[in-house]
Structure 1
Amino acid sequence: MLEPTAAYARFELAERLGTTVRALLSGQPGPLTAMEEYLWQRFWAARARIAQQNRTIKPSGQR
């Protein structure tokens, strides 16, 4: 089972708050850099994988 990492949790919190990880960590908002955009894409892909895995794993005893 995939477990969210601390980095994943930071991105999830930033998304919930409607801000960026940079603003959370440094207090300095600004436009996304290419690297930040790449990391957001990875976050969204990881979230999709976790959601897919959670849909396909059945509790023990179920078929």
Structure 2
Amino acid sequence: MSLLLLSIGMVCIVEGLAYALAPSLVERMLEALRSLPQSAVRQIGLLAVVSGLILVWGAYQLGL
């Protein structure tokens, strides 16, 4: 459970930093996402989920 909370906390930190430090970049990224077909956005989302799971699993294996 603590690993899940740690992971969610890290996501919140990274997301918050993106909005706090570069809000115009976030707006441009959202506009770029709107121009992509739904299938491409879905693939990007699935890739992000798999990458996140691999990173969390790797951190867990290292004892972090």
With normalisation by structure 2, the TM-score equals 0.44
Q: Is the helix fraction higher in 1 or 2?
A: 2
